[in-house]
Chains A and B, each alone.
With several copies, the nearest count.
Chain A
Amino acid sequence: MQLLYFAWVRERIGLDAETLALPEGVATAGALLDWLATRSEGHAAALADRNQLRIAVDQQFAMMDTPVRDDAEVAIFPPVTGG
């Protein structure tokens, strides 16, 4: 699975991307975030406040219960501030 991080999520994790194998039993975006948060202090800090996070699966906005597969591109980022 391709993971992408943007803005302060990227900064707190200290990576703009990482490629990981999706563990068995992790089937939704929400479960993915729970698992990612255990990977480092940076991940935990970046992913602590779910209200401040937005997720895209394969470049489309997703919900915490959106299914994720190992061949997906999942991006995690703060609420957008363009325009």
Chain B
Amino acid sequence: MLTTRVQPGPFDLGAEVAVLTAGRSDIGAVVSFTGLVRDVALTLEHYPAMTERQLAAIAADAAARWELLGATVIHRFGSLAPADPIVLVATAARHRGAAFAAAEFLMDWLKTRAPFWKREAGGGWVEAKATDDAAAARWVIPS
């Protein structure tokens, strides 16, 4: 089951992982990543129609690369305070290797392919990081 959602409000990590694993006993490993606002309040702008497409495409890409038994991707937008959660990725698989790799992949892909832009409160637009491009480049399949 692949779930992707874009929403202004918070998400519940425990509840999302419970949904991901509900009613099945073939899952041996669940990895979650929660991204939080550090230090300075942010506003997240996004491109709604493209965001939905990209999140679905990113999740499908992860499911094609690893034997996932489920994945959830939730990304918030709007005004966020320090310590607020921004993004949740959760992956379920029989074994931990696939769950860890797919979660890292999803985060690297989100950072470089999902149309969100962060603006710091009282400051400017956050600049894209070369380290995110480098992290995403690990997953590019040579054509």
Q: Which residues of A contact B (CB under 8 A)?
A: 4, 6-8, 56, 59-61, 73, 75, 77-83
Closest to A7 in B: B117
Query: Nearest A residue to B44 by beta-carbon distance?
Result: A82
Name B112's closest neighbour in chain A (CB-CB). Answer: A80
A73 to B44, CA, bound (A): 22
Listed in ascending order, the chain B residues whose CB lies under 8 Å from chain A are: 35, 44-47, 49-50, 53-54, 75, 86-87, 107, 110-119, 124-129, 132
From residue B55, how far is it (CB to closest CB) to chain A in Å?
10
Query: CA A78 – CA B124 in complex, angstroms?
Result: 13
Contact B115–A80 (Cβ < 8 Å):
yes
Q: Which residue of B lies closest to A83 (CB)?
A: B111
Across-interface contacts of A59 in B (CB, < 8 A): 47, 49-50, 53-54
The 3 A-B pairs with the shortest beta carbon distances in the complex, nearest first, are A82-B116, A79-B128, A83-B111
> In the complex, what residues of A have CB within 8 A of residue B46's CB?
6, 82
Chain A residues with CB under 8 Å of B45's CB are 6-7
Q: Considering the chains assembled together, what is the distance between the CA atoms of A78 and B128 in angstroms?
A: 9
Bound complex: CA of A54 vs CA of B114, how far in Å? 12
Roughly how many angstroms separate A64 CA and B88 CA in the complex, as a whole number?
Answer: 32
Q: Complex: how many Å from CA A56 to CA B44?
A: 19
Q: Which residues of B contact A77 (CB under 8 A)?
A: 47, 115, 117
